[in-house]
């Protein structure tokens, strides 16, 4: 029997208005894809499109070859679906600049991707790829490559090429990569390199020749050089590159160690002696640095040690919306000196973008403990009943806030003439289809958090904040919340250590270099430890759901962090 397919209103509207951008996402679109056996063919007739996004549709397992008809596409976003394959005709989309195939089920990429001469961003993270196609160096305009969370064991032999002279970001974390060749120094623009959680044994000294490198991450690799491994787990990029540079000089000295004759031989001997002395001093300095890093402490206070501890009761109604919540209190975080608060907020944003999957996996909120009135209740409210004072705004209902954000997003799109939006606007789609919204409410009935959108201006942290209440919520699992909280606390410990050890920088905004503590002492690296106070989360009947941190938290692969219970 012949079945007439229902027309998709978004596509009809895009065709009528000759739109150049189209976004299809969420449960409603997914149901239609499931019903029609794939993405409706009418989408491929929208030849004016330069931006197409189809995301968060588990029923989308393939893309038809007719996509080659969208020859004007500059951005193709097909993330968070279940794509098992991708057609080779993608090579005919010669105007494509951004290709995002992240969070799918891809096991192989078509080699035709290498024909995309205008491509500057390639994101294929969170798939099942075991290798990348050879020839990516033909995409000479590439600036960002993200291949994290796959099964890749090696880089293509031609990836590290002078032809990729614009490549500034290479993220390849959580794979099975066994070797990073010295050819990486052929990437002159490289600024960010993330190879954490792989199977590397060595880091090539030639990496120090990447002169623009600002951020490297090799954590989670079992390096044969244990001193370097400790530095990797705690040091700043500059210290690691300096160490690698020293190793490179050692290698050169060994390779050219024949010596000359006459005065040249004498000068060579003196030079060799000086080099040996410099190496000894450098090794001693690095050992001292490593020992100092090993002092990074987190002390955990049990709930029983804090009679005024914050308690959180979880309503049964959140089960259908965003059921998982983990909380704790942190003391000793230095937010006052210099740019400390800014660095902390930037670190939180980076966690949201990376580990939290742009808040689709989990959401972090931070509050000033002194402004939090316990006991708290984690519950749901109807959009018209949920009132909050969003960060930097007046009090309004969730309906008003969402409407305002949508208007702002539309205005941003008009001004910038593109589909992408920034700030809170990019999280609006996470609420689509929800009739009730999750929120954290204090004892006076005030909403202090509305995940995944915003928390309240009433409990906002400032430079003067000395104790923080942290919350992580997720719709995925309790372990997801714990993993994100672990990562947040480790980052806080690193930032605190950095602030304490760079007092001259910490005072750059005109404050004293050594902030005075309540007991009259001056801040030093010795008192940079964090104190984490456990918070219990209970159900409506008072039965324990979770306490964080427990003995099984904060223990995974963090060699430079000592937890004292």
Calpha distance 496→466 (Å, rounded): 12
> In the chain, which segments carry CATH 3.50.40.10?
297-387+437-564
Does the structure show a pLDDT above 60 at 112? Answer: yes
Q: How confident is the model over 58-67, as a mean pLDDT?
A: 94
**Residue written as token pair 């160490």:** 243
Residue 561 gets which letter from DSSP? -
pLDDT of residue 441: 95
* Beta strands in 2-150, from DSSP E residues, in sequence order: 21-25, 51-55, 75-77, 98-100, 121-123, 144-146
Which of 115-124, 255-264, 350-359 is least confident? 255-264
Task: Express each pLDDT in 8-48 by its tens digit.
Answer: 888 988 899 888 888 888 788 899 999 988 999 999 999 99
pLDDT of residue 338: 86
Which of 31-45, 237-251, 499-513 is least confident? 499-513
H helical segments located in 180-236: 226-232
Calpha distance 100→323 (Å, rounded): 29
Q: Is the pTM of this model over 0.75?
A: no
Calpha distance 256→265 (Å, rounded): 13
Calpha distance 264→206 (Å, rounded): 28
pLDDT of residue 361: 87
Closest by alpha carbon to 441, among 540, 374, 533? Answer: 374
The CATH classification number of 297-387+437-564 equals 3.50.40.10
Task: Express each pLDDT in 266-297 by its tens digit.
Answer: 555 566 666 666 666 566 555 555 544 445 67
The CATH classification number of 1-108+119-125 equals 3.80.10.10
pLDDT bracket for residue 243 (50, 70, 90): confident
> What is the chain's mean pLDDT, rounded?
82
Q: What are phi and psi of 332, to 5 degrees?
A: 90, 5
Chain center to CA of 224: 28
Which of 28-42, 405-419, 440-454, 527-541 is least confident? 405-419
Calpha distance 523→501 (Å, rounded): 9
Does the structure show a pLDDT above 90 at 64? Answer: yes
pLDDT of residue 372: 93
CA atoms 354, 358, 363, 364: torsion sign = positive
Class of domain 129-250+277-294: alpha beta
pLDDT of residue 7: 79
pLDDT of residue 86: 94
Query: Which of the pair, 247 or 420, is modelled with greater confidence?
Result: 247
Calpha distance 335→340 (Å, rounded): 5
Let me know: does 229 contact 221? Beta carbons within 8 Å.
Answer: yes
> In the chain, which segments carry CATH 3.80.10.10?
1-108+119-125, 129-250+277-294
pLDDT of residue 426: 56
pLDDT bracket for residue 459 (50, 70, 90): very high
Does the structure show a pLDDT above 60 at 260? Answer: no
Does the structure show a pLDDT above 80 at 483? Answer: yes
pLDDT of residue 240: 87
pLDDT of residue 4: 46
pLDDT of residue 177: 96
Which of 35-39, 91-95, 374-378, 407-411 is least confident? 407-411
pLDDT bracket for residue 421 (50, 70, 90): very low
Number of Cβ atoms within 10 Å of the Cβ of 302:
11
Q: How confident is the model over 95-111, as a mean pLDDT?
A: 94
Q: How confident is the model over 205-214, as a mean pLDDT?
A: 89
Task: Express each pLDDT in 460-477 by its tens digit.
Answer: 999 999 899 999 999 888
- Rg value, the chain, Cα: 27
Calpha distance 369→177 (Å, rounded): 43
Phi-psi category of residue 55: left, alpha or beta, with phi > 0 → left and psi -120 to 50 → alpha: beta
């Amino acid at each position: 029997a012949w079945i007439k397919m229902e027309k998709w209103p978004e596509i009809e509207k895009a065709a009528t208005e000759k739109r150049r951008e189209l976004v299809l996402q969420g449960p409603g679109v997914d149901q239609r894809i499931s019903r029609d056996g794939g993405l409706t063919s009418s989408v491929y007739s929208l030849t004016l499109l330069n931006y197409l996004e189809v995301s968060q549709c588990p029923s989308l397992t393939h893309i038809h070859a007719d996509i080659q008809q969208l020859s004007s596409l500059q951005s193709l976003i097909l993330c968070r679906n279940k794509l098992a394959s991708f057609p080779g005709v993608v090579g005919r989309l010669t105007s494509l600049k951004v290709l995002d195939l992240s969070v799918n089920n891809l096991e192989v990429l078509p080699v035709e991707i290498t024909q995309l001469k205008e491509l500057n961003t390639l994101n294929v993270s969170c798939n099942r790829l075991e290798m990348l196609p050879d020839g990516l160096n033909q995409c000479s305009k590439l600036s960002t490559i993200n291949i994290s969370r796959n099964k890749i064991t090696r880089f293509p032999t031609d990836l590290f090429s002078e032809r990729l002279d614009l490549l500034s970001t290479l993220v390849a974390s959580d794979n099975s990569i066994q070797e990073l060749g010295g050819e990486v120094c052929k990437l002159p623009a490289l600024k960010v390199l993330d190879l954490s959680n792989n199977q590397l044994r060595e880091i090539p000294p030639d990496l120090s020749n990447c002169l623009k490198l600002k951020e490297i991450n090799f954590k989670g690799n079992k390096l044969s050089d244990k001193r370097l491994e400790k530095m990797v787990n705690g040091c700043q990029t500059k210290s690691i590159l300096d160490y690698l540079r020293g190793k490179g000089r050692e290698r050169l000295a060994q390779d050219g160690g024949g010596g000359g004759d006459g005065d040249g031989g004498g000068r060579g001997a003196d030079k060799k002696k000086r080099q040996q002395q410099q190496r000894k001093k450098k090794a001693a300095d690095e050992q001292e640095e490593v020992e100092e890093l090993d002092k990074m402490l987190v002390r955990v206070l049990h709930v029983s040690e804090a009679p005024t501890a914050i308690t959180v009761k979880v309503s049964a109604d959140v089960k259908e919306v965003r059921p998982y919540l983990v909380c704790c209190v942190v003391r000793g975080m230095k937010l006052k000196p210099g740019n400390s608060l800014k660095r902390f907020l930037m670190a939180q944003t980076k966690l949201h973008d990376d580990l939290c999957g742009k808040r689709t996996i989990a959401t972090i909120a931070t509050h000033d403990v002194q402004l939090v009135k316990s006991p708290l209740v984690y519950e749901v409210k109807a959009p018209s009943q949920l009132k909050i004072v969003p960060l930097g705004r007046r009090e309004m209902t969730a309906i008003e806030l969402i409407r305002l954000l949508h208007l702002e997003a539309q205005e941003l799109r008009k001004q910038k003439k593109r589909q992408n939006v920034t700030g809170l606007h990019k999280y609006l789609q996470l609420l689509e289809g929800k009739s009730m919204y999750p929120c954290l409410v204090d004892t006076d009935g005030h909403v202090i958090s509305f995940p995944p959108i915003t928390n309240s201006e009433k409990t906002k942290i400032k430079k003067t904040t000395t104790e923080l209440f942290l919350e992580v919520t997720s719709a995925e699992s309790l372990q997801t919340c714990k993993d994100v909280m672990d990562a947040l606390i480790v980052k806080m410990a690193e930032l605190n250590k950095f602030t304490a050890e760079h007092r001259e920088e910490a005072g750059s905004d005109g404050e004293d270099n050594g902030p005075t503590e309540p007991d009259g002492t001056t801040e030093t690296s010795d008192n940079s430890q964090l104190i984490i106070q456990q918070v219990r989360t209970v159900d409506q009947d008072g039965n324990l759901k979770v306490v964080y941190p427990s003995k099984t938290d904060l223990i995974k692969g963090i060699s430079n962090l000592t937890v004292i219970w």
